[in-house]
Amino acid sequence: MNFSARHLKIGSVLFLFLSVAFLYYIRPFIQPLALFIYLNPFIIQALILSAVLSFLAYRFTDVDGLGSSAFTMSFVGFFFVGIILSSAYTNMSIAEDLVEDRTEISSLPDADNQNPRILPRTVSDEFAQNSLQEPRHKLGESDIAIDSNGTPQWSYPLRPDGFINSLSISQRGGAYIDMTSSSSDISYNDGDMDVGIGMRVRDNIDWQQRKQSYWKSYEDHFMMEHDGENYIATPYVDYSLEFRFPLLLMVPEWGGAVLTDEEGEMEYLESEEVSENEILQDQRVYPYNLARRYVSAMEYRNGVLNKWFFHEDQLEVAPLPGFDNDQPFTIMTDEGPQLFIATEPYGDASGLFEIWTVDGATGDYELYALDRQQGLIGAERAVNYVRQANSKVNWADEDSDTGFEPIEPLPVIVDDQLYWQVRVVPIDSAGIAFTSMVSAESSNVYTAETDQEIYEFLEGEDIGEADEQPMTEEGIEISVIEDGEVAGEITVTDPEFEIEVSEE
């Protein structure tokens, strides 16, 4: 009997040891679940508080079952509070930090007119897919990389296609398409990656990064070239622990990036080291998702109650048509790649509220706060003006199988004036039909049908008469915005109508 009990004890200890060893080995696989718990510390708070209350109820009362009831009720209550307040409090912390750290600017950075963004993502994806001649590889997700000449490119990993290939072959470098042209200018760099995208199991880049540094949120990988070799850059997000009664919070902040070479060597660079790295210094490395979350968090800059009920001076990131490509957009400027995020006032207003820019290499935030009396149109309204100015175009709707769509409105500065650069593409993304430049001030629409005309317009040259916003018999509805909200609408029927602004 003692012999059996002893062996049972040894077997239990051995089973526990093997279980722990197995979990440790597969820790990269379960990292998303572990990270979810790590990023929501109110779950642990709820468990600890519930256990304490349950113990006190059991220890100092004589009521049967009160301990378990206290545990259940307190856990559910605290968990419910955490679900409601955790996200709001985190956004408040982000907004407070951003208000202190951002720089207000009086004008947007000048665009790099020699490297305009012409080719939209959806058309580039179609070009890349049509030119692929690799039977055992397929294209991964596209992203933006900058070549040695400062030219922005759409970059794609050539990842193994299918489960068996993912086990037996490597990622074969990447494909790169020049985005400063509307043509299919594609090149390949076939260097095999020892650790790469779409490979299994231990050769997978996600597995290796989670294994080396566990408590980080890794953003989307992107391919880039340097001195003839392929590299994979992976921005990552770190977290800082904060307390706002009664909750512990994990507040996101840019941690840096991981640079992986063809031999599978990984170099972890902190955020302040990225701009000093020879390979990454000219790239867009700041995470897209983090930039959007930070700007969206400014909804909370006047507090939770204002966000939930009053909406004073509240912004929202403008919803834009992009064929699965949304803000922030990367724009090449004289200062390097910048992330642009256009915002509108909360509610039904479509006017331009604020434009935020983020340095792609340093993560510095700048705010272009607009004079509310300027009445500049936002990106969503600019898209509508493109449709109105080209009424003979077969515009597609949500049920169409054919037709054209205006997509990816990008902010550009020409002669100190803000324009929205809107590409018009067929819904099958076979190419670019034309590009419209919409004045944010006058709503006039200029049309460029060739790449050369786009370059000429960005240089300030005349490319033809503007298509002015038509004045119909019903007139034009203009939103009146006061304190960031729509105070009302007026209908203008007089073509000579002017707005006079009195200074208080």
Q: How far does CA 304 lie from the centroid of its chain?
A: 24
Q: How many CB atoms are closer than 10 A to CB 444?
A: 16
Sequence-distant (6+) residues with CB within 8 A of 214 are: 27, 31, 34
* pLDDT at res. 476: 47
pLDDT over 90 at 38, yes or no: yes
Tell me: the pLDDT tens digits for 59-74? 777 666 666 777 888 8
Tell me: the pLDDT tens digits for 440-459? 988 899 999 999 999 999 88
pLDDT over 50 at 477, yes or no: no
pLDDT over 50 at 497, yes or no: no
Q: Phi first, then psi: what are they for 359, rounded to 5°?
A: -65, 125
Q: Do 97 and 125 form a contact (C-beta atoms < 8 A)?
A: no
Burial (CB count within 10 angstroms: exposed 0-12, middle 13-18, buried 19+), residue 393: middle
Tell me: the pLDDT tens digits for 183-210? 988 999 988 999 999 999 899 999 999 9
Q: Phi first, then psi: what are they for 99, rounded to 5°?
A: -60, -35
Structural tokens at position 318 = 């403008």
Q: Phi first, then psi: what are they for 177, rounded to 5°?
A: -125, 130
Specify the pairing of strand 365-369 against strand 103-105.
parallel
Angle between helices 288-297 and 66-101 (to 10 degrees): 90
pLDDT classification of 140: cutoffs 50, 70, 90: very high
* pLDDT at res. 413: 85
Q: 189 vs 149, 171, 258, 277, CA distance in Å?
A: 17, 11, 20, 22
- Of 452, 343, 326, 438, residue with least CA distance to 386: 438
Tell me: the pLDDT tens digits for 83-123? 999 999 999 999 999 999 999 998 888 888 889 999 999 99
Tell me: the pLDDT tens digits for 275-287? 999 999 999 999 9
Specify the pairing of strand 222-226 against strand 217-218.
unpaired
Tell me: the pLDDT tens digits for 424-440? 999 999 999 999 999 99
Helices and strands (H and E) in the chain: how many: 12, 22
| Selected residue with higher pLDDT from 73 and 423 | 423
Residue type, 353: F
Tell me: the pLDDT tens digits for 281-315? 999 999 999 999 999 999 999 999 999 999 888 99
- Of 236, 196, 195, residue with least CA distance to 218: 236
* pLDDT at res. 95: 96
